[in-house]
Structure 1
């Protein structure tokens, strides 16, 4: 057999094997997408909203948390009472503790702890006071710290708020 015929034969064999492997992969993927699997996937992707202070959150136009699948996004917690009034005015350390207390309530609602937090963003109007109080976070994150950012801002939603903390959570099944 000459080189040209050998090359053509090998090429045809390669194409045939590749085609059958592709067809097998496509058939396998089709089998995975059964109606039951699709319905289950859609159910997991349905957003589940949570309001910590329903009246306050409706008045300001936000939900405090939303869970989609294994991911939970938690809006920034601030130091406020159940009517939306600022608490611990002028005391950043206490405001931070109040934020974490509210965040813990939300985490518990979803069956999570701070160990499930994968991202934490802190917004503060006084970075130097936050840095002085930041050691408190070791009481919150006992296993490991999440990723995130600390941002100094000129103001938050209400002038008395000095800190706002938002979280992203990954809930394992």
Structure 2
């Protein structure tokens, strides 16, 4: 009879230990899921960047927004820090000025033009844009991103001839 009681006690003890371990394992899985969810939520919070805060506030936009590994950069135009158009009548210099501003935004996020996956160009004069587009090879030394080029009737200010917007993927 003692042997049966000892075996039942041993069996009961083993069951209690197994249930305890299973409970601890379940609790650990739940805690891991909670931590993973918190990390995902934190990495998905948008980070806003203003290149020219006063100008951007006046027009009502942010120059860039980063969410996770994705960065959307508003169209850059050729303007000074007060929002006045520069290089009026010179589409190539306007393009150079746009890329200079875009590089500042990329550097803020520790990126380069190699991280750009999409580039959209809006121009009021496609013929001139095509003539001067060779400059882009100096910007994109390791290959061009996807994108679209569109001729438009006008941009934000009548003196502007080109606007360039980017989408970036920042590797972890």
Per the normalisation by structure 1, the TM-score is: 0.81
Matches within 5 A, 1:130-145: 130-145=129-144
Secondary structure of the 1:103 match is: helix
User: How far apart are the structure 1 equivalents of 2:159 and 2:64?
Assistant: 23
Q: 1:33 to 1:126 in 2, by over 3 A?
A: farther
Give the Å deviation of 1:34. Answer: 1.1
* Partner residue, 1:75: 74
| CA distance 1:31–1:147, change in 2 (3 Å) | farther
Correspondence 1:41-56 to 2 at 5 A: 41-56=40-55
Where does residue 108 of structure 1 map in the other structure? 107
Which protein shows a greater Rg? 2
Name the counterpart of 2:160: 161
Structure 1 residue matching 2:88: 3-state secondary structure: coil
SS of match in other structure, 1:34:
helix
**C-alpha RMSD of matched pairs (Å):** 1.4
Aligned to 2:145: 146
What are structure 2's unaligned runs of at least 5 residues? 1-25
| Distance in 1 (alpha carbons) for counterparts of 2:95 and 2:132 | 8
Structure 2-normalised TM-score? 0.82
Which ranges of 4 or more aligned residues in structure 1 deviate by more than 3 Å? 30-33
Question: Which residue in the other structure is 1:91 paired with?
Answer: 90
1:62-107 deviation line (CA, Å, top 9, x unaligned) = 0000000000000000000000000000000000000000000000
Distance across 2 between alignment mates of 1:32 and 1:57: 42
CA pair 94-33 structure 1, distance change in 2 beyond 3 A = same
Across the two proteins, how many residue pairs are aligned to each other?
A: 145
- Separation of aligned partners in 1, 2:31 and 2:128: 54
For residues 93 and 150 of structure 2, what CA distance do their matches in structure 1 show? 19
CA distance in 1 between partners of 2:106 and 2:42 (Å): 21
